[in-house]
A and B are shown apart, each in its own frame.
Chain A
């Protein structure tokens, strides 16, 4: 079993106001398939809000992959993708 999928939600004021405040309930909204395999944490400002080239807030990282204008659905999709990659990796290892 590989490590948990790391979901880091930026809770700097900009991200929090623009929607991260609603995303902090993600743990409760995860579908069954993702329960127990995802670790969700809030972080201090990641600094992306100052750089328009990174997109718009709220920002989050899923296994270090940066997501902008993130939504609960977007985070769940990114977790599914990360889960698929991990499984794929495991297959290759075998």
Chain B
């Protein structure tokens, strides 16, 4: 449910249409027509009318072209102009999530709401229990005064009719770092100084109002130009597409990639380096060490948990290692990391070895547009493959398991602690480990609960992908 809903499907449909337009004979016209074709005259509107739907779709198309709402140059600027400037883009200079303001429904601010199930009873337990005197009775029904309400929830518990409900603001609830909040108009705005690009709000918003700047056009352009482009596929790709890894490699080659590398191989190297670092540092130098592979966690440390920085491993992430190997062998190659993660775009922006980052959604859109069916592809060998340790990275506990396996007989010395998913509470607990210790000597942090398999850009139910990964690990 969380990953598959109409909002999510609309976003994917826009990506597919943009990729198809790019591959068509008259891309500018096709791009301009996307909002009209998705909401033709006479069709049902998702919002107040098809004209508003089309305007929202225009902004979604802009995001699919790599722009944010803030980049809008004028309301009359046609999409083809954005398409043209997307094609002029030489390199990615900016990443980050933005809210499509007109798509944001400005969810009700008050978290508690009295519904029409209120009977205006004599007992008035809600009023009696409210510590702030925030409940009045108007026309025989309870009304909460938002100015006085402190969101304690006692009225909800007290009402014998269950007439009071809690109405959360999904994006704000999902944000681990309180980076998203309302402006004076009631619409949500992301504070880029606080945002860690984890993408939880993208998944949470039922209006799909939060968008990420796509890099799909940049990759399509690079592939079309015929330059040597290498796909670095994240370990979490297992289960995200039909077919196996070798068929996936064939599909990517059909798209125009010259080589396909499993980042699981980079993850194996991360395991070797991180194990050595842990042996060296933990004990005398530091009481514990945390993982460094999750880019949203790394951003959280930079922006919100500076006291934790000395405990973070210096080992490069699997993506960084894999990309470095490729660039070292041939600096002229363009590297494209493909994964489930939005925060990897931020990590890539700081790493010259990674040129572009695609999500599985974007890769899926490209395959659909190019009419490549992975299941029908003849398997080809990958240019670099991972082992069981690295392949196990995308599930929570995977990094720890790989390090334990690498330590072998010495694994008992490792006392692992897991932070499986970051929210405001676990972030607080994480903050406290800097002063109070963590109760172990190795901390694995995954921003997405369940691991990368539950990332914001996944296409498959994490349980199904998990089963496929288990099968692969048994063979690895």
Interface residues of A (CB under 8 A from B): 11-14, 16-19, 21-25, 28, 42, 44-45, 49, 56, 69, 71-72
A17:B375 contact, CB within 8 angstroms: no
Given contacts A12-B373, A45-B373, A71-B4, contact A19 B9 (CB under 8 A): yes
B3:A17 contact, CB within 8 angstroms: no
B242:A16 contact, CB within 8 angstroms: yes
Give the total of B residues in contact with A, Cβ under 8 Å.
27
Contact with A along B440-476 (1 / 0, CB 8 A): 0000000000000000000111011000000000000
Pairs across A and B, CB under 8 Å, 28 listed = A11-B375, A12-B375, A13-B251, A13-B364, A13-B367, A14-B368, A14-B373, A16-B364, A16-B374, A17-B368, A18-B12, A21-B240, A21-B459, A21-B460, A21-B464, A22-B4, A22-B460, A22-B461, A23-B4, A25-B463, A28-B463, A44-B373, A44-B375, A45-B373, A45-B375, A49-B368, A56-B13, A69-B9
Cβ of B341 < 8 Å from any Cβ of A? no
Closest to B3 in A: A22
B242:A12 contact, CB within 8 angstroms: yes
Interface residues of B (CB under 8 A from A): 1, 3-4, 9, 12-13, 16, 239-242, 251, 361, 364-365, 367-368, 372-376, 459-461, 463-464
| Chain A residues near B464 (CB-CB < 8 A) | 21, 24-25
Determine how close the nearest CB of chain A comes to the CB of B103; give it in whole angstroms.
Answer: 20
B242:A11 contact, CB within 8 angstroms: yes
A17:B461 contact, CB within 8 angstroms: no
Closest to B465 in A: A21
A51 CA to B313 CA, complexed, in Å: 52
| Chain B residues near A21 (CB-CB < 8 A) | 239-241, 459-461, 464
Determine how close the nearest CB of chain A comes to the CB of B339; give it in whole angstroms.
Answer: 15
Determine how close the nearest CB of chain B comes to the CB of A9; give it in whole angstroms.
Answer: 11
A92 CA to B277 CA, complexed, in Å: 74
| Chain B residues near A45 (CB-CB < 8 A) | 373, 375-376
Determine how close the nearest CB of chain B comes to the CB of A34; give it in whole angstroms.
Answer: 18
| Chain A residues near B460 (CB-CB < 8 A) | 16, 21-22, 24
| Chain A residues near B9 (CB-CB < 8 A) | 18-19, 69
A25:B375 contact, CB within 8 angstroms: no
Pick from B9, B251, B367, B463 the residue with the most CB of A within 10 Å.
B9
Closest to A12 in B: B373
A44:B367 contact, CB within 8 angstroms: no
**What are the 9 A-B residue pairs with the smallest beta carbon separation, nearest first?**
A17-B364, A21-B460, A22-B4, A25-B461, A21-B459, A24-B464, A22-B461, A11-B242, A13-B373
B463:A13 contact, CB within 8 angstroms: no
Q: In the complex, given contacts A12-B375, A16-B459, A18-B13, what are 19 additional A-B residue pairs having Cβ atoms less than 8 angstroms apart?
A: A12-B242, A13-B368, A13-B374, A16-B374, A17-B241, A17-B361, A17-B365, A17-B368, A21-B240, A21-B459, A21-B460, A22-B461, A24-B464, A25-B463, A44-B375, A44-B376, A49-B368, A71-B4, A72-B1
| Chain B residues near A42 (CB-CB < 8 A) | 242
| Chain A residues near B364 (CB-CB < 8 A) | 13, 16-17
B4:A13 contact, CB within 8 angstroms: no
A45 CA to B446 CA, complexed, in Å: 35
Closest to B365 in A: A17
Closest to B239 in A: A21
B241:A13 contact, CB within 8 angstroms: yes
| Chain B residues near A16 (CB-CB < 8 A) | 241-242, 364, 374, 459-460
| Chain B residues near A12 (CB-CB < 8 A) | 242, 373, 375
A44 CA to B373 CA, complexed, in Å: 9
Pick from B242, B251, B364, B373 the residue with the most CB of A within 10 Å.
B242
A22 CA to B365 CA, complexed, in Å: 16
